Amino acid sequence: MTPPGSLYRQLAIDAVDAARRRYEIACVSADFNVLKAAVRAKLGVAPMIAPAIEVLGMSAVRDLPRIVDVEMSIVHRQKRNSSVFEDELAGIFDNLFRYVS
């Protein structure tokens, strides 16, 4: 699970609590690779956005409550005015979310 203060963490906890499901948070990390490794090692489940599940070849766990939709957007300036950081970040988001229709 992501650290306290994360919106996605709170939405996941709220969904599981509302469904009255028992759970234990066994791993906390802001590093997605750590969470991915824990899931791949079958140490537990973690809330992830749908494109990440598909790209990583993970299947959705059945009978868990659905987390409410979260809308994200990035405003990327034209190339001549953008920084290298903005270009890289926009490229990462483009690659991750190109699978979403």
Give mean pLDDT, residues 72-88: 70
Name the pLDDT band for 100 (thresholds 50, 70, 90): very low
- Taking the alpha carbons at both ends of the chain, their separation in whole angstroms is 26
C-alpha to C-alpha distance for 44 and 22, rounded to whole angstroms: 13
Percent of the chain, pLDDT > 70? 68
Residue-wise pLDDT tens digits, 35-79: 888 888 888 888 776 656 655 556 666 677 887 777 766 666 666
Residue bearing tokens 């609590």: 17
C-alpha to C-alpha distance for 81 and 35, rounded to whole angstroms: 35
Residue bearing tokens 């991915």: 36
Per-residue model confidence (pLDDT) at position 13: 92
